């Protein structure tokens, strides 16, 4: 038992130290600006309902984890995000990663694919295959997954505005392999709201985009029951400069909007909510990130049970994928990124992630090289099989500091959600520029602290040395675009163009009618309609979204 209160200890033991710190205007805070005390005691846990919030993992409100034994059953899914150049090149990388022990695939699409343009569109010039793989039609999808049986792998597709079309191509490919839709296992990111907030790869206005999102919910609930229909993404919100609390608050507010939209469309909450998933960033402040994941789980469980009345315990669980912080990678002293990534991966696993991508040390220069991505995979394997962290669930549970941070982040995130509710919900708040302004302000403060050297970034503003020469960088050659254009032209020549015209007309009619669009997307995919043709059809119906102006 402690013999004195925390205040008494501060006044006697730390008095002179605190006085000098005050004179120097010195203060300690997390990367999100939460003030950090010198030490934490049981006094800092006042207000925590231990019986409710610190019970066992696998039980409501899931603060300590969504499964009772977590990684004792098996470690998290090692799911490296990968894609570049043509489908052939990316297929080779996927098979290499699977040989190295990766346990799930994650597809990165190039920019034209993300915004619904074929590789031969004028706006695609110079961008084909650069930040991901180019997918123009079912033909590309066939090559991308050649010799990879879809009933044996879990595939995550980081795609949003064009998610229905890409999912339709994946379902069509499964059928060609003899894999029924009900056997497919994976995730479409399908989170269009964060595109308006932080990333920018949207096509249509928010309301028709939300309809396409909920169409996927309804279709998969019936036809593709093992598919995670959305991965509500805080990752890009954090990459854009948000704090940890904003990452939780804005992400869960988007999740609330999706759940409400699905309910408004006539879906029962417990019918679709168990297949919702999330995607978070693991940033640089080790303890804050662990607490962030715990706080997000607890807050989402309360939202689903108390706000939406979900009764299925699976609807209460926040299952999430994590990627280490791309924005923390530096071109200066790039091998330091290996250490940064390892610490961020450790925080994600101690926080209870279900799957994990570890960034490669050379990503500040280019898409990952084979050497760099191998080190990234090995980082996860060392954590999972050598470190002992998989042996016990939530090892930081009960830590005064972690529990204090968990409570603080939950409270601050809940306040953000309340403000967004007051503005009319996530969509209305986005249209008013609220989340965008908050992120811009946080990003500015972060960058200013680095430039003023109030925040240390090793190799950038402290412990600086000359730039090294990095060998073996991956380069996407110009002929990739030429080859991709030729393939798309061949597809248009060889397919049944009358069938394509009928399929596109049906898609246009269904989009105008209000019926579920997914069967029409699937018909277009099976007819080898191109992604650009599909999206152009919808542009005629829904129009396109202009960039939000934020002042």
Beta sheet of 320-324, edge-to-edge order = 227-228, 186-188, 155-158, 104-108, 77-82, 355-357, 320-324, 276-282, 230-233
CB of 470 within 8 A of CB of 333?
A: no
> How large a percentage of the chain has pLDDT more than 90?
84
Radius of gyration of the CA atoms of the chain, in A: 24
pLDDT computed for residue 470 by the predictor: 84
CB of 175 within 8 A of CB of 145?
A: no
Q: What's the whole-model pTM score?
A: 0.93
pLDDT computed for residue 42 by the predictor: 84
Q: Is 96 exposed, middle or buried (0-12, 13-18, 19+ CB in 10 A)?
A: middle
CB of 150 within 8 A of CB of 179?
A: yes
The DSSP result for 233-264, as a single string, is: E-HHHHHTT--HHHHHHHHHHHHHHHHHHHHH
pLDDT averaged over every residue in the chain: 93
Across the range 366-382, mean pLDDT stands at: 95
Domains and CATH numbers, the chain: 50-451 (3.20.20.240)
d(CA 478, CA 91): 19
Confidence of residue 52 (pLDDT cuts 50, 70, 90): low
The C-alpha angle 265, 271, 274, rounded to 5 degrees, equals 120
Of 24-28, 51-55, 162-166, 477-481, which gets the smallest average pLDDT?
Answer: 51-55
Confidence of residue 51 (pLDDT cuts 50, 70, 90): very low
d(CA 140, CA 184): 19
- First-last CA distance in the chain: 54
Cis peptide upstream of residue 115 (ω within 30 degrees of 0): no
pLDDT tens for 181-218 read 999 999 999 999 999 999 999 999 999 999 999 999 99
CB of 141 within 8 A of CB of 86?
A: no
pLDDT computed for residue 50 by the predictor: 53
d(CA 257, CA 214): 11
pLDDT tens for 130-184 read 999 999 999 999 999 999 999 999 999 999 999 999 999 999 999 999 999 999 9
pLDDT computed for residue 53 by the predictor: 63
Q: 130 Cβ partners below 8 Å, 6+ apart?
A: 84, 110, 111, 476
**Residue 508 CA to its chain's centroid (Å):** 31
Of 154-158, 285-289, 395-399, 475-479, which gets the smallest average pLDDT?
Answer: 475-479
pLDDT computed for residue 2 by the predictor: 60
CB of 187 within 8 A of CB of 217?
A: no
Across the range 447-474, mean pLDDT stands at: 91
Q: Residue 190: name the closest of 307, 272, 245 by CA.
A: 272
Of 14-23, 103-112, 420-429, 484-493, which gets the smallest average pLDDT?
Answer: 14-23
Handedness of CA 172, 173, 179, 183 (dihedral sign): negative
Across the range 71-96, mean pLDDT stands at: 92
Q: What is the 3-state secondary structure (H, E, C) of 312-374?
A: CHHHHCCCEEEEECHHHCCCCCCCHHHHHHHHHHHHHHHCCCCEEECCCCCCCCCCCCHHHHH
pLDDT surpasses 70 at 551: no
Confidence of residue 38 (pLDDT cuts 50, 70, 90): confident
CB of 282 within 8 A of CB of 325?
A: yes
pLDDT computed for residue 268 by the predictor: 96
d(CA 93, CA 107): 11
Q: How many CB atoms lie within 10 A of CB 201?
A: 17
d(CA 65, CA 57): 5
Across the range 421-431, mean pLDDT stands at: 97
pLDDT computed for residue 468 by the predictor: 79
pLDDT computed for residue 532 by the predictor: 98
pLDDT computed for residue 467 by the predictor: 79
Three-state DSSP state, 301 = helix
pLDDT tens for 228-252 read 999 999 999 999 999 999 999 999 9
pLDDT computed for residue 488 by the predictor: 97
pLDDT computed for residue 112 by the predictor: 97
Three-state DSSP state, 188 = strand
Distances (CA, A) of 72 to 294, 301, 352, 355, 384: 19, 23, 12, 14, 10
Q: Residue 321: name the closest of 288, 296, 303 by CA.
A: 296
pLDDT computed for residue 15 by the predictor: 76
Of 73-82, 408-417, 426-435, 436-445, which gets the smallest average pLDDT?
Answer: 73-82
């Amino acid at each position: 038992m402690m013999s004195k209160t925390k205040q008494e200890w501060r006044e006697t033991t730390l008095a002179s130290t605190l006085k000098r710190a005050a004179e120097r205007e010195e203060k300690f805070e997390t990367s999100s600006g939460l003030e950090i005390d010198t030490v934490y005691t049981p006094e800092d846990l006042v207000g925590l309902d231990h019986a409710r919030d610190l019970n066992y993992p696998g039980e409501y409100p899931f603060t300590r984890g969504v499964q009772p034994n977590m990684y004792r059953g098996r470690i998290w899914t090692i799911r490296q995000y990968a894609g570049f150049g043509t489908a052939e090149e990316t297929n080779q990388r996927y098979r290499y990663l699977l040989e190295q022990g990766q346990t799930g695939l994650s597809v990165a699409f190039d920019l034209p694919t993300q915004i619904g343009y074929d590789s031969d569109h004028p706006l695609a010039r110079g961008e084909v295959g650069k930040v991901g793989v180019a997918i123009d039609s079912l033909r590309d999808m066939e090559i991308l997954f050649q010799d990879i049986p879809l009933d044996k792998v879990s595939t995550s597709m980081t795609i949003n505005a064009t998610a229905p079309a890409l999912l339709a191509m994946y379902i069509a490919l499964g059928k060609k392999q003899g894999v029924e839709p009900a056997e497919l296992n994976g995730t479409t990111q399908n989170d269009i709201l964060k595109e308006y907030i932080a990333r920018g790869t949207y096509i249509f206005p928010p309301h028709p985009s939300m309809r396409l999102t909920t169409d996927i919910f309804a279709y998969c609930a019936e036809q593709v029951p093992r598919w995670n229909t959305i991965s509500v993404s805080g990752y890009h919100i954090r990459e854009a400069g948000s704090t940890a609390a904003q990452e939780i608050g804005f992400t869960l507010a988007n999740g609330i909007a999706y759940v409400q939209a699905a309910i408004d469309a006539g879906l029962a909450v417990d019918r679709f909510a168990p297949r919702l998933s999330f995607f978070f960033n693991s940033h640089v402040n080790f303890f804050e990130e662990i607490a962030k994941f715990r706080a997000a789980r607890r807050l989402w469980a309360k939202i689903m049970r108390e706000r939406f009345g979900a009764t299925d315990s699976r609807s209460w669980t926040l299952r999430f994928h994590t990627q280490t912080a791309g924005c923390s990678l530096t071109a200066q002293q790039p091998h330091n990124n290996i250490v940064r990534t390892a610490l961020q991966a450790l925080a994600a696993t101690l926080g209870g992630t279900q799957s994990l991508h570890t960034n490669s040390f050379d990503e500040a220069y280019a898409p990952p090289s084979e050497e760099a991505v191998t080190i990234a995979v090995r980082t996860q394997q060392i954590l999972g099989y050598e470190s002992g962290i998989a042996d016990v669930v939530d090892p930081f549970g009960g830590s005064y500091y972690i529990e204090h941070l968990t409570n603080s982040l939950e409270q601050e995130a809940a306040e953000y959600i309340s403000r967004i509710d007051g503005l009319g919900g996530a969509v209305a708040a986005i249209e008013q520029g609220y989340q965008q302004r908050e992120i811009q302000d946080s990003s500015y403060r972060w960058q200013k602290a680095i430039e003023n050297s109030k925040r240390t970034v090793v190799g950038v503003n402290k412990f600086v040395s000359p730039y090294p020469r990095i060998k073996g960088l991956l380069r996407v050659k110009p002929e990739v675009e030429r080859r991709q254009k030729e393939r798309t032209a061949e597809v248009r020549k060889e397919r049944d163009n009358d069938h394509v015209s009928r399929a596109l007309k049906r898609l246009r009619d269904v989009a105008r009618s209000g019926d579920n669009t997914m069967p029409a997307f699937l018909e277009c995919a099976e007819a080898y309609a191109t992604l650009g043709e599909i999206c152009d059809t919808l542009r005629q119906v829904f129009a396109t979204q202009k960039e939000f102006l934020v002042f």
